[in-house]
Amino acid sequence: MLLALLNLSLAAPNMSLHVQLDSQAIKHDELGLSPGSSRIASPGLRLGVELNPRVMLQADWHHARSGGRIYANDDDEYDAQGGPSLVYASDHFDLGARLEPLQWEVLQPYVTVQGSFTMGRMHLDADEDHDNELTELHSRAASFGGLAVGGAELALGNEDWVVQPSAYLEMGYALRTPQSFDGLGDLRSGGYLVRLGTGLRF
């Protein structure tokens, strides 16, 4: 593994690889996608490639998954229906440029502007014990948009090191088109976002 990273650092321009956690807003609390808030935490990966000392090409992917059983009204005759289980999953792909206007050594502030593509999937199942297409619904929806964030990355060691551990925290705003699930309706995501991650620069 270490040899592979060393080879990578010698063969390629400066790169970074991070594991990150993203918090995105889903604007439909009633779906029960996230307990107590309208946000879903989604893990992912970030790959950065230095184009010049102040600009980095940055690609992010993160995967969100949430859901649970949803109960209908307990107080009336429809109680017998119970409720379906619902799983929402999405993959977000962001690609853009990261600008580092200040060349600080340890704490590096930056701003990032990215285009965004999201593929969401929704699965509803009224009878989890049996496979029956009559009691299940599957739907997919795509979404496009963009985001802008500002943040700071803390790197340990110095630039002479072949591999530098680093961590970052960034906040920003995302605008995305709604995910239109056929027949089910539109799910809107976006708004303020927070990302944090840790990884390696080499």
Residues of the shown chain interacting with another protein in the complex, contacts defined by CB under 8 A: 1, 17, 19, 21, 28, 30-35, 40-45, 63, 65-74, 76, 78, 80-84, 124, 126-127, 132-137, 181, 183-187, 200
Rounded to a whole number of angstroms, the minimum distance from the CB of residue 77 to another protein is: 9
CA distance 83 to 69: 7
Kindly state the tokens that stand for 6: 């060393």
Rounded to a whole number of angstroms, the minimum distance from the CB of residue 152 to another protein is: 22
CA distance 121 to 29: 17
Rounded to a whole number of angstroms, the minimum distance from the CB of residue 44 to another protein is: 8
| Farthest-apart Cα atoms in the chain, separation | 71
Kindly state the tokens that stand for 138: 């599957």
Phi-psi domain of 182 (left: phi exceeds 0; alpha: psi -120 through 50; beta: other) = beta
Rounded to a whole number of angstroms, the minimum distance from the CB of residue 3 to another protein is: 14
Q: Please calculate the CA angle 36-37-43 and round it to the nearest 5 degrees.
A: 110
Question: Which residue's CB is nearer to another protein, number 54 or number 63?
Answer: 63
